[in-house]
Amino acid sequence: MDAIIQVIHVSKWYDRRAALSDVTIEIEKGDFVLLMGPSGAGKSTLLRMLIGEEQPDEGQVFVHGKNVTKLKQSEIPYLRRKIGSVSQDFRLLSKKSVFDNVALPLVVQGVSEKDIRRKVTEALRAVGVDHKKDQSPNSLSAGEQQRVCIARAIVNGPVVLLADEPTGNLDPERTGEIIELFKLINARGTTVIVATHDPHVMKQINRRAVTLVQGVLMEEGRLAERVGV
């Protein structure tokens, strides 16, 4: 198997406090990984490093064969086009329609109008909100907004999907639906990394789990094995 993500002896400090401390992880292509840990454990910092938004103070980060720590500023956008991102606060533009929000990653790449229409429609259909394409994100429920956010993350056909606390604003029922969506996306070949401290998510995913506590990688294994499921 090919490693699509390699985090090698990475450390990061904020005001002498270690956000990440000598973290080493390797994630294979097509994996589904749960990145667990309490708030402030360093999960978001690690995810931000994978898209070049943060630089480690020590160590190296490789994504899809590129050394992110060595990338020039001008090369980072091209890395981000291969990675879909989903966040807890959805980050949708209220002045644009659902369709235009999902189309954004394609527009910045200069994809033709025809292909944009086709790909956005497919992505919205995949997450089950294609009937809301002309509405404003503000008129949608939290669960629907998160689906739109996921559609935007996958519309490009990314090799990796990063989700940072994607169910933080959702009830348990909607959480289940979103997790099922991630599983479906993973089944189609996209590597999925979900950072969470939500116990509902942990219970629903029997996949590789990585735990961070105060920036230190504590343990690795299948969650079901550890909780005895």
Partner 1 sequence: MSRLVYIVREAWANMRANRTTTIVAILTTAFTLACVGIFLLLYVNLRNAAGWLQEDVKIMVYLEDSVQAARRQALEKELKSDRMVFGVLFVSKEQALGEFRAQFPAETHLLEGLGENPLPASFVVTLAPNYRSPQSMKGWAERVQTMEGVAKVDYNQEWINVLAELIGYIELAAIGVGLLLSAASVTIIGNTIRLALSTRREEIEILRSVGATRTFIRIPYFLEGAVLGAFGSALSLGILKVGFELFRQQMQSAGRFSGIESLLSFFPFSLCIALVMAGMGLGLAGSVVSLLRVGEGRA
Which chain residues interact with partner 1 by CB under 8 A? 51-53, 73-74, 76-81, 85, 91, 93, 95, 104-113, 116, 152, 156
Whichever of 93 and 218 has its CB closer to partner 1, that residue is 93
Whichever of 46 and 51 has its CB closer to partner 1, that residue is 51
Backbone angles phi, psi at 146, to 5 degrees: -70, -35
The amino acid present at 152, given as its one-letter code, is: R
CA distance to 21, 39, 147, 170, 220, per residue, from 176 (Å): 32, 21, 12, 9, 23
CB of 159 to partner 1, least distance (A): 13
CA distance to 8, 135, 150, 184, per residue, from 84 (Å): 22, 23, 8, 15
Whichever of 92 and 170 has its CB closer to partner 1, that residue is 92
Whichever of 133 and 152 has its CB closer to partner 1, that residue is 152
Find tokens 């950072």 and name the residue. 195
CB of 169 to partner 1, least distance (A): 17
CB of 115 to partner 1, least distance (A): 9
